[in-house]
Amino acid sequence: MKIVGGSTSSHLAKAIARELTATLVEVSFEKHQGGFPDQEQYVRLLASVTGDHVVLIQSTHPDARVVEFLLLADAIRDAGARRLTAVIPYYGYGRQDKRFLDGEAVSAKTIAKHIAVDCDELLTMTMHNPEILKTFPIRAHDVSGVPALGRYLKSADVDLLLAPDENAIRFAEEAGAITGTPSDHLEKERIDSYTVRITPKKLGVKGKSVAIVDDVISTGGTIATAAKELRSQGARRVIAACVHGLFVDNAEANLEACDDVIATDTVQSPHTKVSVAPEFAAAIRALG
């Protein structure tokens, strides 16, 4: 087995290669120093993958990384790989998982169609709605990134795990099973891309240390609103924990409401504190 890492997932690709004791194939992402002035992407495999089972690891966020993923998959196939497994740690476009309004693209499925051109199977992580994977044209599995958060939170002195909305209950409960901590949830209504409203609810958090657990932190609006509610109810310490930390726009300012912010390495950021390499290594082994 050989591992190829895209430019946005190179740390994680190295870690997974170590876990599997597999060979990491070096890739060049620039033809000339500084890349193409028009921002087009470039990839070149620097070792042979002919006849190999190749695992290509690359999150599809931001957009340029989608193109890079497709170039890598095509280059790997052209080079004669026998089998190509896509590992997409953070599946960008995954949240547009249905046609909410007539005429919309179901973006998660659109991306999957293109992945399926060269890849035989797909592993991704903590999808917003894993049910969408059943509609993909290739075998696709959702791997949970929550155990990695659980490993960190276990030693973080947490009294309660809080899901900011109903979709996140399963993440808080899964983390709670690892930390041995109770969980609760809020009810959230999204007003626009930046604003959410939370239904007031008595949480019994006075003097307590609480971790808000979610799949994604994007603008940090959800976390900031939940953290404000916790503070107003007397929480002593507020931790934000997510699998996928995008941290766009005002996220850093929004997250000042928290004492600590934890994200995994599905998207590398200054808040990356835990690795999901063990989870992906186990899932790759299980593919057989």
Residues that bind ligand R5P (CB under 6 A): 164-165, 167-168, 196, 214-222
Separation of alpha carbons 99 and 88, rounded Å: 23
End-to-end distance of the chain based on CA atoms, in angstroms? 11
Q: Which residues contact 83 (CB under 8 A, 6 or more apart)?
A: 52, 53, 54, 120
- 130 versus 220: smaller Cβ distance to ligand R5P: 220
User: Which of these, 55, 130, 54, lies nearest to 91 by C-alpha position?
Assistant: 130
Beta bridge partners of 261: 240
What are the residue ranges of helices labelled H in 33-134?
Answer: 63-78, 107-115
Residues in the chain: 288
Rounded to 5 degrees, φ, ψ at 107 are -55, -35
124: which 2 tokens? 């991704």
Active site residues: 188
Residues contacting 32, CB < 8 A, separation 6+: none
CA dist 64 and 87 (Å) reads 17
| Closest distance to ligand R5P from the beta carbon of 126 (Å) | 10
Distance CA 159, CA 229 (A): 16
Quote the least distance from Cβ 198 to ligand R5P, whole Å: 11
Angle at 95 between CA 93 and CA 96, to 5 degrees: 75
Between 2 and 185, CB nearer to ligand R5P: 185
The backbone region for 213, taken as left when phi is positive above 0, alpha when psi lies in -120 to 50, beta otherwise, is beta
Q: CB nearer to ligand R5P: give 10 or 93.
A: 93
Closer of 102 and 192 to ligand R5P (Cβ): 192
Rg of the chain over all Cα atoms, to the nearest angstrom: 20
Specify the residue, 167 or 233, whose C-beta has the smaller distance to ligand R5P. Answer: 167
The residue among 42 and 194 lying less far from ligand R5P, judged by its C-beta, is: 194
